[in-house]
Structure 1
Amino acid sequence: MRYALYFSPAETNPLTKAATQWLGRDAFTGETFPTPEADGLARDTIHELTADPRRYGFHATLKAPFELHPDQTEAQLVAAVERFAADTPAFDIPNVIVGQLGRFFALVPDTVYPDLQHFAARVVEEFESFRAPLSDADIARRKPETMSATHRANLDRWGYPYVMDEFRFHMTLTGQVPSEYAPAMREELDRRFSEFANAPLTIDGLALFIETERGAPFTVHRWLPLAPVSENRKIAS
């Protein structure tokens, strides 16, 4: 069993519905959907290029998948997530776009936002005691010999390279898209997610995902709303 702390919009959020239809699976319910059609892309191609994000479910990684520390229990983890969510006010990413990270397409902020970076760092730090140390095999799978010194230090300290200053929020929409398919994929994703791109994205919940065994689809175990922003906080900001 592995756990992960992700941002996901709520189950009924229109963005969740649009993304699950595109990816072909709803991580809240386990329901699967037919592979969508797109101009210039065969259905088999789309199915293959969305395989990885379909298994993980629509999300943005905050604390990457981890096995539970032997000194902790699932009930303690759930209680900690509940406390964190209740004590953490919701906030907006001012603008997200359909972007690319290498060959991956994702919904990403248009720039680095300090509030978002701080939120992600808090999740990594506050739930570190629940993470079991990485096995030698887990470390080897990350190919640490190819990493920068910063990424390797993050892997050793936090179990994941892309945290703290190296964190970049992204809600993955594809796997690695070969260059010959990239223009058609860009056009399709711009069309499908036009309602959500070039607009704010509210970070209003924290999701605890689980993977029952290695390679199994990730599912939402708990989704907790973040605290509402108080009127005083709104005025102060």
Structure 2
Amino acid sequence: MDNFQRFAIYYAPAPDSTLARAGSQWLGWDADAARPCPHPELGLDLAQITAAPRKYGLHGTLKPPMRLACAQATFFDAVEILAQGMARVDMGRLVLRPLDGFLAIVPDVQSEALNDAAAQIVTALDPFRAPLSQAELHRRRAIGLSPRQDALLLRWGYPYVMEEFRFHITLTDRLAPKIMTDALRTAYAWFDPALAAPQSLDALCIFGEDAQGRFHLLRRVPLRG
């Protein structure tokens, strides 16, 4: 694991689940197996419209990617300790929705329990985060942030945490309206079996970013609180 440059805590479905398999094929990257997946033939140019989210794998962000201010083993131990005291969070039914021009999987209703869990993860693991570089700050600010989002960026290294947190699993790049319509219709058919059952946050998944910018699922730490 010495070759990974950033680490993140993500939600990810169990690697052998229907959702994990469907999502990996849709994106073209299996983060658990650390290998590309052939896209299904669905009448969309999935290779093109999933280029940005592909490198991250199927995930929902809980603690955004960060450089570490400590040894990797220390961070992994901290995640294990955190997971021991956290209870499983029911997320209910996940649904497909456009989100700021992207197609995403989101909770039908985002619960306070999920908000609280995400805030706990951000807070507990922040001491292990290296400060943002000026280049990282510039990159984040270039997309346009509200004053509150900028304050969150400076405090926590990411603008979309705490009250700005919206759980989502990104499935595409930003799409034009016509392509979004086609992608949404196709995704409904492809993901319907995978989203039939309620989902839960039952583990903290440690992902690492390799030198090529691809994220790998390094460890899945069950919540045991």
Interval containing the TM-score (normalised by the shorter chain): over 0.9
State the AA in 1 paired with 2:202: D
Q: Who is 1:235 aligned against?
A: none
Q: Who is 2:127 aligned against?
A: 129
Q: Who is 2:160 aligned against?
A: 162
Q: Who is 2:37 aligned against?
A: 33
Structure 1: runs of 5+ lacking an equivalent: 229-237
State the AA in 1 paired with 2:218: H
Radius of gyration: which is bigger?
1
Given that 2:141 and 2:150 are in contact with CA atoms closer than 8 Å, whether structure 1 keeps it comes out as no
Query: CA-to-partner distance for each residue in 1:193-212, whole Å, 9 max, x for gaps?
Result: 11243642111111111113
Query: CA-to-partner distance for each residue in 1:23-81, whole Å, 9 max, x for gaps?
Result: 11100111222222223x2xxx3201111211011100011110011xx2111111111
Q: Distance in 2 between matches of 1:88 and 1:124?
A: 13
Aligned residues: 221
Q: Who is 2:68 aligned against?
A: 68
Within 5 Å, which residues of 2 pair with 1:82-121? 82-121=80-119
Q: Is the alpha carbon distance of 1:165 and 1:133 closer, same or farther for their aligned partners in structure 2, counting shifts above 3 Å?
A: same
- Secondary structure of the 2:149 match is helix
Moved more, 191-200 or 2-11: 191-200
Q: Is the alpha carbon distance of 1:109 and 1:132 closer, same or farther for their aligned partners in structure 2, counting shifts above 3 Å?
A: same
TM superposition score normalised by structure 1: 0.89
Do residues 3 (structure 1) and 12 (structure 2) align?
no
Moved more, 82-91 or 156-165: 82-91
Given that 2:22 and 2:194 are in contact with CA atoms closer than 8 Å, whether structure 1 keeps it comes out as no
Aligned identity (percent) is 38
Query: CA-to-partner distance for each residue in 1:84-118, whole Å, 9 max, x for gaps?
Result: 12221112112221111111111101223100000
Q: Distance in 2 between matches of 1:145 and 1:91?
A: 31
Do residues 225 (structure 1) and 216 (structure 2) align?
no
Q: Distance in 1 between matches of 2:210 and 2:41?
A: 31
Q: Who is 1:19 aligned against?
A: 23
State the AA in 2 paired with 1:141: R
TM superposition score normalised by structure 2: 0.93
- Secondary structure of the 2:181 match is helix
Q: Distance in 2 between matches of 1:101 and 1:180?
A: 15
Q: Who is 1:59 aligned against?
A: 59
- Secondary structure of the 1:127 match is helix
Do residues 216 (structure 1) and 213 (structure 2) align?
yes
State the AA in 2 paired with 1:225: P
Structure 2: runs of 5+ lacking an equivalent: none
